[in-house]
Amino acid sequence: MTILIWIIQLFFVPVISPLIIGVIKKIKAKFQNRQGSSIFQFYKDLWKLMYKDEVVSKDASWIFLYAPFIIFTVTIAVGASIPLFASFLNGPTSDLLVIVYIMAISTFFLSLAGMDTGSAFGGFGSSREMTISALAEGGLIFSLLTVALVSSSTNVFIISGINILNHSQHLLSIMLAFIGFFIILLAETTRFPFDNPSTHLELTMIHEAMILEYSGKRLALMEWASANKLIIFIALGSNLFFPLGIAQNISWLALVIGIIVFLLKILFFSTIIAILESSVAKFRFFRLPDLLITSFILNVIAIVLIN
């Protein structure tokens, strides 16, 4: 039975993530008074890209060719190690720092792949991505540290298993840490106001600029990995800070409720992200570090307030 849950957990994130991207795009389209593409459009895009040929630059090396596999692997590995709908599992890779640094592997290879082809866009895309990622890492570790200190463990499954009503004296800390985490979520998953995921202007691209040279299967893997990362961050945000409704024991009813509650939470977050994207413009690049440092300071205040 536990094996079954682990298998579901392994495949849950890659299977659900294109749907959520579709939902976000649909909501944004409705805000623009359009009909927009169907919510299953991303699946069709991925399927089509798998069956196309590829064109690879002659300046590229094995890093360009293998980076999509490494990045996709990282998102699957992290997706299987975080609490999605069940909190009674215990994985050896579920430590908070392990998750943060394994995701840093994907940032590392993404930036290298962007620089590998020698185009100007990839180069400055990598530069911007690393600037934002370097500053976001501090905020990420500290926001997760806040909930870890509240539940005295850095294992994310144990953190999601706490009953938040027992710790109501820490509610303010958890709220502040959640706001900090939300800013980091927007930064790392390349959403507004950090990055526009559907822009055509290379001067405004951060994540898109690094994948301009990919085509075919590798492009499909890169886009899919980016969608997976969104689900991973939403899962961390919803299950670590608001672990209500997550399955705490191994009965069928608890699991079904857990899955439904998780899907509702993801839909709620995607609605918030879509509303944010429809009402706020992308910030100028040099205002973004201010936002990240604000997130970091909120997290530090949250930690100090725990005691």
Give the one residue of 2, 6, 7, 97 binding another protein; rule: CB under 8 A.
Answer: 97
Least distance between another protein and beta carbon 271 (Å):
13
Give the one residue of 39, 112, 257, 263 binding another protein; rule: CB under 8 A.
Answer: 112
Give the one residue of 9, 119, 190, 226 binding another protein; rule: CB under 8 A.
Answer: 119
Helix 216-241 and helix 96-116, axial crossing angle in degrees, nearest 10: 150
**CA 268, CA 217: separation in Å to the nearest integer?**
31
List beta partners, residue 95: 155
Q: Does 111 bind another protein (CB under 8 A)?
A: yes
**Within its chain, how far is the Cα of 60 from the centroid?**
28
Among positions 265-304, residues that touch another protein (CB under 8 A) are 279, 285-286, 289, 296, 300, 303-304
Between 50 and 250, CB nearer to another protein: 50
| Count of residues in contact with another protein, rule CB under 8 A | 101
Tokens read off for 284: 């100028």
CA proximity to 297, closest of 135, 185, 147: 135
Tokens read off for 96: 């908070």
Among positions 17-76, residues that touch another protein (CB under 8 A) are 29, 31-38, 41, 44-45, 47-48, 50-59, 61, 63, 66, 69-70, 72-74, 76
Alpha carbon distances (Å) from 105 to 47, 71, 108, 167: 26, 8, 5, 34
Q: How many CA atoms lie within 13 A of 39 on its CB side?
A: 12
Residue type at 89 in one-letter notation = L
Between 219 and 261, CB nearer to another protein: 219
Among positions 216-235, residues that touch another protein (CB under 8 A) are 216-217, 219, 221
Between 70 and 261, CB nearer to another protein: 70
Between 64 and 261, CB nearer to another protein: 64
